Amino acid sequence: MKQGQAETRRQNVAKRSMTKEAKQLTGLIAGLRESLERIHKERTGTKLTGAEMGMLDERRNNLLLTIAALDDRLSAVQGLIDLGRPHIIRVH
């Protein structure tokens, strides 16, 4: 029975850890989306040089890629939680 209890304990720790990660990812994605909106407003609200517009476009593209990657990670984490198969994901 001890082995079953240890596994349950590991599952509970993993679920808490993954739930915390999901909340952190959600907050991070929201902050990046706000930055994206500020870039959009800056790009449309002021007269910019070509170089400034190019720099904002590059920042926007980088933010979009980062948001997409974090959305994928969040989806994976939420999927594992929903399946009842949480585990601690180690990132090196």
Rounded Cα gap, residues 56 and 60, in angstroms: 6
Alpha helices in 1-92 (DSSP H): 2-45, 50-83
88 belongs to a structural domain: no
Residue 11 within any structural domain of the chain: yes
Domain span at residue 77? 2-83
Tens digits of residue pLDDT in 44-87: 888 889 999 999 999 999 999 999 999 999 999 999 888 887 66
Q: Is residue 89 part of a domain?
A: no
Q: Is 92 helix (H, G, I), strand (E, B) or coil?
A: coil
What is the pTM assigned to this prediction?
0.80
Asked if residue 92 belongs to a domain, the reply is no
Phi and psi, residue 85, nearest 5°: -125, 50
Q: What's the number of domains the chain is made of?
A: 1
Higher-pLDDT residue of 85 and 88 is: 85
